[in-house]
Structure 1
């Protein structure tokens, strides 16, 4: 055999003249030529033969098909030199870079990701046949933003080492906006009323931000479903969208949309009954029927009824139950009767409870909140309850749960909790210097999920001459496996206004305490605590009279030991951004007769969250506090309550509200306090991100001295708006408040913020 005998084309097409055919022979060696970026081993991996095998035209054809199919090579040749087979390849170039010129609507990373999804990316093999597909994919992105006049041209520049650079030149053109939306066939409702129900609209004051005047097929489909729901919820059972027509002007600037509908007639419900396998749960299932005879048909109410039926069946282990409503329409009487057929399916059990997304938080921290047990039958209510308990931990931005069936096992499923972790630590550090206060250092650090264990630990240090604080607090929510929590607090706080000539007195309190929480149900906890505290008050000749009176009664140093009990009820769906549920706390604290002080304090708080829609939430909060001394002694000054600022009544300076003040106009606090808040929360326009929410509020409250009963006439009210943000350093709330009935001596404060928890 000679070197130039060529077998490649013969094997590839199987149609070459017989003179080019190769007689079968045993391969003594295989040599690869032409590789630059790929390894020779890559070529060998696609060959259907090895050294020592017999070579034939059929095997040669299979080798060429395999190498072409790999996608790495644009030319492949097989040559024979004696008993050596030479494989010569010409590699496709690699993409060295992808660049975009003229792109303003999208970031380059967004465009590259879209191309990567269709197989075009840097370092991948270049295939010129993919360029048309790449341009179409980029155009699809721009069309989704209403840019129908976009033009894209592509330049491919060869580079050294068999590489190419791809540049997409993009002329985005103008945004096409909706010029007109016309609904044909509406009789029961005016076209203007129907247009208010849908998202797509013509240009207006805020459409530059919401983009509602930009057409997309997905938006129109969603709006047609909205129209359908609007009619179905008002009795029009046979409503139908007959056709939709979308046209664009030749200059690709204006879009016209025409929707043709048929309303049908309005129906009332004549009867509702259950059928199928009810598993002896008829009474319970009938209570779930929200749709009632005699009422106008409402599609949403019917769907809610079916959903509740499936939820009830799911609570008994029938996770895949199916309830369907069969209508019996009487057009002459304009009535419809429904038979809801229930098919519970097979009772299913939970194979595994899986946790995902918790890179830092330990599995056991999440798993111990789950009320659905492995091996037990599926309980939908317990799964939903578990999701809420995990969310109330406050460690996660998002908690999702799904229950996929186990392949090949019709009576098994898994319960998967997928979480998205958030930063649970807060660090604040500050420093300052003044001629009077000298060096001031402030620092606080708290971690609500210490090392992923679910424990919380916080330190606080403040070295200011006026306010000095050293405090440590720790809580273990699962001190025992039964869920008994344990915590302790150690602190020393000094208030010394005399150092800056603000007052001739000093108050220093040092204490320590411990507490235990006992869960009595999934939603209720009783907390017992014991605390010991010593307070030293130093007064001078110019001290306020109330501090002198206190020292005369108790002396410069007084101590107290208290025991406390609190009941907490929490059914909120989230500890950070709740949208539904309640939170209640009632507590009572009283001194023990072993030390100097004699007083008690009681507090009651109630929060209520109600979702008004998928995006809007109404939140209400109310709190009443009361303290009183006994045994012939008054309530200590340092146990008074204060109001004003975020957490009580916004629009007033923190701690400034009271019905009595000292000679300098400062609040003396009160032995009792009452305040309430109402908030209407909603997401930023155009988003559904629950970590950032806007709100409007109405606050009211005040404090009252010992012996004075709270009265409505003495309450202060304020209103305003703000924003709450689950920031990386903790929950942040900003508000702008305006007092509604401020008195001349009240101290107002327009802008306020709070970093940390609070209503």
Structure 2
């Protein structure tokens, strides 16, 4: 009898590529991952197992070097063997066939005979310790996924083992451990026995929280970043989230959030948070480029701790080819939730675009309420209520006017991305309602609604898909000429219809000049082909326009190809977009954007 102690199990990830719709595939031409690629294909096994094995052997580049090609094939053989054993097939054999492709590419095809699998003969699963005093919590632990007689799937075994330990640690059992965790295998008789004993240990709560350093900031302000409080069940994950929140505040450095497990007080673990303050005043100068506004220079000044009350003054000066503006925003935190604050802002903008130009003086004051829990790291949700003033002088398609508006607005926004610097999986929604009345001294009465959103999804490690939409409706008493351009609806630009110039499309007047509309409907889809973790090639299609009524809606369309670099400061996108309806010079527009636009 041969007995083996397994101490490591193979853990694949991802999803099957068949989920990508054939229609979307038509949008993107075939793109080689790299020069001289070698791919690996598995046949002769059930579909679900084939997908699992395939993920263990991704396509690789060997750059035309025969020695490297031979090395990659040997490595793939080892990975295939390990993956088969991880799923319970220790007697598998295979025939190998190498198929040459164009441009020096090659495919290694494995036709596999699985042989007799290893089946689970018995299992000894124990969960002991202080958790027995909490039967309700004990019942929430997921049942062990393998039954006697099942094929030995070490991936399921390892996943359950790790997730269960992590679950107990998140509930205060920080000393939980496995006194015995082994799989005994008899390859000759094709059976296995699992021994998995889990001891929860004692359950602990968060004790006193001691903050050291950053003395210039008020304690109540620092408390807003904490995802723990005395009396909570102690969780290493909660401590990690607190440290991450403090890091994202842009106010602190050398952040350490630690629990002193050597200095216990009964069932409590004291926590110490060590901080050092960053300089409170920042001055930043930058140069950028946006297709919508052209080359631009930016000057930022920030004071993050006005009056030593953690109030934030932000001043921005931007000079661009098509837009010049200067503005300031003052925020002061209120309440316990991160992101809840009072806001006051003012700005002056001078803008000159293809269809319109304007000088706008704006001011606003209001309040933002954070809706997301501080512990939900990837979620940002809020409601913002503002009272706005706008004085504008503008010219639209050769017609000059001026206006004055006082109006309230309310905005709901939610953004849920796993990583905002690499927004490839998640969604966002932003909805705003605003309106003005002559009773308040405004030029005319209006009610305006605007909703925009988008979603992205990774289908597997190589393919992603997403979409976006922007909808708007405007009820106006009187002629649209009495509204400044920023309150009308136009289409075109990098976040609308990139095949057309920024805010150049919409309803026209009797002379055929674009004047903006009362309704907006724009949507788009895109497919991403990742050529590495941080680089992707993108194909997209957009449709929509601004209009005054559904009977006059004229849908514009564009298509394009682009490149995506998910840089350390956020996504950088370079697109080539071609209008399909009413094309104007240039036939292909170059669109560049930097950062995630929420």
TM interval, shorter chain, is: 0.5 to 0.7
Shift of 1:531: 0.4
User: Which residue is 2:366 aligned to?
Assistant: 515
How far apart, CA to CA, are the structure 1 residues paired with 2:413 and 2:469? 14
- For the 8 Å contact 1:275–1:340, the answer to whether it is kept is yes
Q: Could you tell me which of 464, 468, 474 is aligned with 1:622?
A: 468
State the SS of the aligned residue for 2:333.
Answer: coil
How far apart, CA to CA, are the structure 2 residues paired with 1:449 and 1:618? 40
State the SS of the aligned residue for 2:165.
Answer: helix
How far apart, CA to CA, are the structure 2 residues paired with 1:644 and 1:392? 34
How far apart, CA to CA, are the structure 1 residues paired with 2:528 and 2:159? 25
Single out whichever of 488-497 and 696-705 deviates more from structure 2: 488-497
Q: Could you tell me which of 642, 645, 649 is aligned with 2:490?
A: 642
**Mapped pair 1:230 → 2:83:** yes
Q: Could you tell me which of 723, 737, 742 is aligned with 2:564?
A: 723
**Mapped pair 1:602 → 2:443:** no
How far apart, CA to CA, are the structure 1 residues paired with 2:420 and 2:251? 9
User: Which residue is 2:299 aligned to?
Assistant: 445
Q: Highest relative contact order (Cα 8 Å, sep 6+), 1 or 2?
A: 2
State the SS of the aligned residue for 2:489.
Answer: coil
How far apart, CA to CA, are the structure 2 residues paired with 1:449 and 1:293? 64
How far apart, CA to CA, are the structure 2 residues paired with 1:617 and 1:353? 45
How far apart, CA to CA, are the structure 2 residues paired with 1:737 and 1:649? 12
Distance 1:633 1:738, change over 3 A: closer
User: Which residue is 2:428 aligned to?
Assistant: 583
User: Which residue is 1:165 aligned to?
Assistant: none
Q: Could you tell me which of 657, 680, 695 is aligned with 2:528?
A: 680
Distance 1:519 1:446, change over 3 A: same
How far apart, CA to CA, are the structure 2 residues paired with 1:723 and 1:441? 20
How far apart, CA to CA, are the structure 2 residues paired with 1:228 and 1:351? 49
State the SS of the aligned residue for 1:575.
Answer: coil
**Mapped pair 1:562 → 2:374:** no
User: Which residue is 1:486 aligned to?
Assistant: 342
Distance 1:199 1:584, change over 3 A: closer
Distance 1:300 1:570, change over 3 A: farther
How far apart, CA to CA, are the structure 1 residues paired with 2:282 and 2:82? 41
- For the 8 Å contact 1:234–1:298, the answer to whether it is kept is yes
- For the 8 Å contact 2:491–2:546, the answer to whether it is kept is no
How far apart, CA to CA, are the structure 2 residues paired with 1:228 and 1:415? 47
Aligned length: 507
Distance 1:321 1:196, change over 3 A: closer
- Deviation string 1:443-466 (CA, Å, 9 cap, x unpaired) is 4323678479694613235497xx
- Deviation string 1:246-275 (CA, Å, 9 cap, x unpaired) is xxxxxxxxxxxxxxx998743567998953
User: Which residue is 1:531 aligned to?
Assistant: 388
User: Which residue is 1:316 aligned to?
Assistant: 171
How far apart, CA to CA, are the structure 2 residues paired with 1:630 and 1:374? 54
* RMSD (Å), alpha carbons: 5.7
Shift of 1:371: 0.3
Shift of 1:627: 2.4
**Mapped pair 1:698 → 2:540:** yes
State the SS of the aligned residue for 2:142.
Answer: helix
Shift of 1:521: 3.7
Give 1:296-445 correspondences, 5 Å limit.
297-322=152-177, 341-350=197-206, 368-373=224-229, 376-379=232-235, 382-383=238-239, 385-386=241-242, 389=245, 406-407=261-262, 412=269, 427-428=285-286, 443-445=297-299
How far apart, CA to CA, are the structure 1 residues paired with 2:446 and 2:283? 36
User: Which residue is 1:113 aligned to?
Assistant: none
Distance 1:736 1:674, change over 3 A: closer
- For the 8 Å contact 2:507–2:548, the answer to whether it is kept is no
TM-score, normalising length: structure 2: 0.64
- Deviation string 1:135-193 (CA, Å, 9 cap, x unpaired) is xxxxxxxxxxxxxxxxxxxxxxxxxxxxxxxxxxxxxxxxxxxxxx9x9xx997999x9
Higher strand share: 2
Q: Could you tell me which of 278, 286, 292 is aligned with 2:142?
A: 286
Give ranges in structure 1 of 5+ residues lacking alignment: 1-180, 242-260, 431-439, 549-555
TM-score, normalising length: structure 1: 0.52
State the SS of the aligned residue for 1:314.
Answer: helix
Distance 1:187 1:657, change over 3 A: same
User: Which residue is 2:597 aligned to?
Assistant: 758
- Deviation string 1:451-508 (CA, Å, 9 cap, x unpaired) is 79694613235497xx6643313253734555422222212334568xxxx89x9643
Shift of 1:417: 9.8
Q: Could you tell me which of 56, 60, 63 is aligned with 1:204?
A: 63
Give ranges in structure 2 of 5+ residues lacking alignment: 1-37, 94-111, 289-293, 374-378
- For the 8 Å contact 1:507–1:538, the answer to whether it is kept is yes
Q: Could you tell me which of 306, 312, 315 is aligned with 1:458?
A: 315
User: Which residue is 2:126 aligned to?
Assistant: 275
Shift of 1:224: 8.4
